[in-house]
Chains A and B, each alone.
Chain A
Amino acid sequence: MMRPVLVRRDRVLPATQALGFVVGIVGALVLGAILLLVSDNNPVEVYERMFDSALGGIDSLSRTLERATPLALTGLAVAVAGSMGLWNIGAEGQMMAGATLATGVAMMTDGLSGPLLIAVMLASGVVGGMVLMLGPALARSYLGVSEIITTLMLVYVSIRVVEWLEVGHWKDAGSLGFPRIEEVPAQAALPGLFGRVNIGALIALGLLVVFSLAVSRTAWGYELRLAGSSPNTARYAGVSLRRKILAALLLSGGIAGLAGAVQLTGTEVRLTPGLSNGFGFSGIIVAALALMRPSGVAVVAFVFGAVQVGGQSIQTLGVSSAISTILQAMILFSALAAVVFFNYRVRWAGAASEHSDV
C-alpha cells in the first residue's frame, strides 16, 4: 500500500523555497475560491480586485509598501534573534515602547528642526525598544529564563502604559476631555517618497541589507550563527554566549522599537494603544516564512503587505470582513505549510522507506 511520507531534504535549495512559496499561495487561492463560492461571492471578481488594489498601479503599490514597511522591520527584529535560535515574541510591545519614548522626547524637545527632530525620535525609538528588551535579555543570558515568555508578557505591559498615559500625564489638553495624546509636531513627519510611501521604507530596506550582510558575512555574524547552531562549539571557540545573547536580543528589541517610531512619524500622527496594530505579531510569521534570514524578510514582508491590502479592499465588493480575514489567514497558513516542504519532501512509501537520522 502506498502512503505519503515526509523525508528530510539533504539541503534546501533557493529554487525549492521559491517553488514552495508559490505552491502555497496557489493552494490558498484555490481553497479561498471554494470559500468565496460557498459564501456567494465571485472568486474571479474578488481576486481581480485584490490584485488590482494591492499591485495594480503606483497608488496600489504604495499602499502595499506602506503596510510592508513595519512588517519588514518587525520581521527583521524577530529574524535577528532567530538567527541565534532565540524567539522575540514581543516585537509588538517593543514597537509601543519605541513609539512611547519617541513621543516623550518630541514633547520635551521644543522647536527642533524637522530632520533633527526625526533623527532624535527614531533614535529614541531604538532606545525604547532596547529598554523594554533589557529585562528579558539579562534574564535570558544570566539566568536562562525563557525569552519567549518574558518578551510576550511585556507586550501587555507596554500597551497598558500607553493607555495610562492617554488618560494621565500625557492627556491632550485640547482634546475636549477625550483620552488622547497630543499629535507629534508636524515637522516630525517622515518625508514622503511617492504615494503613501515615506523614507521609512528606505530605512527598512537599508537595515535589511545591513543585517543580511552582518549575519552572513561578518565575523560577528559567524559567531552569532555558531552560538545559535551549537552553543558548546561556540564556547570551545571562545565565543561568549552571554554577550551574544544580549547583543542579539537587544538589537532585536531596538529594531522593533524603531518600527514603532517609524510608524509614529510616518503613518500615524499620535501615540495610541493601537499603534502597533498587530505588526509585531505578524513579524513573527514574516520571519518564520523567511526562515529567519534577514535576506528573505523583504520579499515575505512585501507579499504579506499585498495580502493585507488586497484582503481589506474586497470588502468594498460586499465581501464580509470575516470572509476577508479568513481569506488572508488561509493564504498565510498555506504559505506556512509550504515552509514544511522547504525542509521535507514527499516520498510515496511502500517499496520506499521513511526518513532516518543515520
Chain B
Amino acid sequence: MAAIETDYAVWLRGIEKRFPGVIACDGAELKVRRGTIHALLGENGAGKTTMANVLAGVYRPDAGEVWVNGKRQTFRSPADAIAAGVGMVYQEFRLVPSLTVAENIVLGAASPLLRVVEIEEKVAELSDTYGLAADPSRPVWQLSMGERQRVEILKALWRNASVLVMDEPTAVLTPAEAAELGLTLRAMAVDGRSVIYISHKLDQVVAFCDEATVLRRGKVTATFDDLIDVDLAELAEKMVGASEVGTIKRLKSIQPGHAVLHLNGISARNDRGLPALSDINITVHANEIVGIVGVSGNGQKELAEVIAGLRKPSEGRMILGDQDVSGASPADRYRMGLAYVPEDRLGVGLAPKMSVVDNAVVRSYRSHRRGIFLAASKCIVFCKGLIERFGVRVGRLSHPIAGLSGGNLQKLLLGRELAEQPIMLVAAQPSRGLDVQGVVAIQGHLADQRNNGVGVLLISEDLDELLALADRLLVMFGGRVVGEYGPDVTPRTILGAAMAGRPPQ
C-alpha cells in the first residue's frame, strides 16, 4: 500500500465535510499524479472548493485522510499546508495592493537579511523559468488581473510548492492571458510539479489538463486518467447528471415594441477615477432582451450602475419610458419602472444580516407604512406573495437572509424587483454561481418578462445564456460598444474576436 501512496503528489481519501445544513463533501477522493495537471470539475456547490480548502489546510475534514507526496498529513492551518508544499491561488487574489510584486511574493517567507535587490533578482529568475512575466519592482495595484495572478503563482513557487491549486483561474483573464496561463502550468508540470485546476469551463479543461476528477454533490462521479480522447459532452453529463445542460431553448422571436430605455452618449469613470465607459449609446425596446457580451472588466459593471442610478455618468443622458431620468435617484428610477438585479447580490442587492422579510421590502417598504410605523403584517403578506410567486424556498421569515442558498437568494431578489410591474429590467450576471435548477428558473423569469412586454438588458459572461435568450447582442470592449450582432446568425468566432477587441469590419 505504501508504494502506491508515494506515486501520488496528492491523495485525498474519503473526505467528508459538513457545514450547517450542507454536506459539501461526502466521501470524495482525489488522486493526483506527479507532474500532471489535474482538473477538478463540478458545478457550483459540487464540493470542488471545499476539497481544495481541505488540501490547503483551511478546513479540517470531518472524516478522511490527506496525503501529500506520500506522507499522511494533518494540517492545522494553511501554514502547515504551505510547509508541506501545497500552494493555493484563490479566485479572489490575496495581495497587498500598495506593496511591490517582489514584496508580495516574499511577504512572510523571506529571511530578514535578504536585500531588496537580491529578492528582485531571484523573483526575476523565477519568472523567467516559468514564463511568468512580472516586473518585481512594480506595485501590485498597477497590475492587471492576469499579472496579479502571475504574482500569486510566483508566491507559491517562492515557497517551493510542489502542488499548486488554482481555483477558477481563468475567470478573470482575457482569452490571450488564459492561453499563456496554460503554457505556464505545462512548464510547471514538466518540472515535476502537480497542478490541481478547478473549473467548470470544459473546453479549457480539455485543452490544459492531463487527467480529471468530476464531483457532483460532494461525491466523485467519474475520473479520467487521460483527457485526450474525452468528449466534452461526456464530461458535461458527468458534471450535471441526468439534467440537460447547455441546451437552453432559443426563445421564439417576437416583434419588439416601443423604446423603454435609451442611453445617449454615456461616459463614466470607475472607482479609481479612470475612464470606464465612453460614449455608450444603447436603446432597449419592450419585448426585447438585449445581451451585453464581453470579458468582465470592460465596463459592464459601471454600465449597470449608471443605469441604476448608483454611479453618476460624467457625460450623457438617459431616458426611461418617456422621461429624462439623468438626474434621478435610484429609488426614483425604480418608481418610474426600472428594476435592477445587481451583480453583487449579497452586498448591494440584499442585506445579508437582515431578515428575509426586511430584504423583501427593500424596494417597497414605503408603501407598507401605517403612519410612521412599518406595518409588519403588510410586509409579511408582501414577502409571502413573492415567495409563492417566484418559488423561493425559505426557512423562517425572521431569520437572516444569508442562510438561503444562492438560487433562492436570487429568486427573492429578482422577484422583489419584478413585484411592481417594471417596464425595464437590468440584470447583471443573474445566473452566475447558481445550480442548474436555479439557472433554469432565473432564465425562465427573464424570458417571461420579455414576453410580457418588459425590456431587458442582460449582462452576462455566459455566452450560451446570451445566445439562447438575447434578441440582440452588443459586444463591449474597453468601455465601448464595439459591435452589434444577431444571436441566430453570428458565429462564435466572430463574437470571440469582438470580445477581444478585434471586431471584424
What are the interface flags for B314-337 relative to A under an 8 Å C-beta threshold, 1 for contact and 0 otherwise?
000000000000000111101000
Does A229 lie within 8 Å of B342, measured CB to CB?
no
A235–B305 alpha-carbon span in the complex (Å): 12
Interface: B354 (CB within 8 A): yes
Residue of B nearest to A225 (CB): B354
Chain-A contact segment, one of B36-44, B165-173, B190-198, B344-352 = B344-352
Also in contact, A230 and B351, with CB within 8 A (given A10-B20, A219-B369, A354-B60): yes
A356–B61 alpha-carbon span in the complex (Å): 12
Interface: A121 (CB within 8 A): no
Residues of A in contact with B (beta carbons under 8 Å apart) = 10-11, 217-222, 225-226, 229-230, 232-238, 349, 351-354, 356, 358
Interface: B24 (CB within 8 A): yes
In the bound complex, residues from chain B placing their C-beta under 8 Å from that of A233 are: 347-351, 362
A225–B353 alpha-carbon span in the complex (Å): 10
Does A222 lie within 8 Å of B330, measured CB to CB?
no
Contact partner, B376, options A217, A234, A235, Cβ 8 Å: A217
Does A236 lie within 8 Å of B330, measured CB to CB?
yes
In B284-318, the 8 Å CB interface with A consists of 308, 310
In the bound complex, residues from chain A placing their C-beta under 8 Å from that of B363 are: 237
Does B351 lie within 8 Å of A353, measured CB to CB?
no
Residue of B nearest to A5 (CB): B60
Residue of B nearest to A358 (CB): B19
7 pairs across A/B with beta carbons < 8 Å?
A: A10-B20, A10-B399, A219-B365, A220-B372, A226-B354, A230-B351, A238-B329
Residue of A nearest to B396 (CB): A11
Does B372 lie within 8 Å of A218, measured CB to CB?
yes
A354 to chain B, nearest CB (A): 6
Also in contact, A356 and B19, with CB within 8 A (given A225-B354, A230-B347, A230-B351): yes
User: 6 other contacts beyond A230-B354, A353-B59, with CB at 8 A cut-off?
Assistant: A233-B349, A235-B330, A237-B330, A352-B62, A353-B17, A353-B18
Does A356 lie within 8 Å of B59, measured CB to CB?
yes
Also in contact, A229 and B62, with CB within 8 A (given A218-B374, A238-B330): no
Residue of A nearest to B364 (CB): A237
A83–B80 alpha-carbon span in the complex (Å): 40
In B351-374, the 8 Å CB interface with A consists of 351-354, 358, 361-363, 365-366, 369, 372-374
Does B331 lie within 8 Å of A237, measured CB to CB?
yes
In the bound complex, residues from chain A placing their C-beta under 8 Å from that of B334 are: 238
In the bound complex, residues from chain A placing their C-beta under 8 Å from that of B399 are: 10-11
Does A236 lie within 8 Å of B403, measured CB to CB?
no
A92–B340 alpha-carbon span in the complex (Å): 45
A295 to chain B, nearest CB (A): 16
Does A358 lie within 8 Å of B354, measured CB to CB?
no
A352–B330 alpha-carbon span in the complex (Å): 46
Residue of A nearest to B350 (CB): A233
Residue of B nearest to A234 (CB): B351
Does B349 lie within 8 Å of A236, measured CB to CB?
yes
Contact partner, B362, options A237, A349, A354, Cβ 8 Å: A237
Residue of A nearest to B370 (CB): A219
Residue from the set A229, A236, A237 with the largest chain B CB neighbour count within 10 Å: A236
Does B20 lie within 8 Å of A232, measured CB to CB?
no
Does A230 lie within 8 Å of B353, measured CB to CB?
yes
Residue of A nearest to B59 (CB): A356
Also in contact, A230 and B340, with CB within 8 A (given A10-B403, A217-B374, A237-B363): no
Does A219 lie within 8 Å of B400, measured CB to CB?
no
In the bound complex, residues from chain A placing their C-beta under 8 Å from that of B344 are: 232
What are the interface flags for B260-276 relative to A under an 8 Å C-beta threshold, 1 for contact and 0 otherwise?
00000000000000000
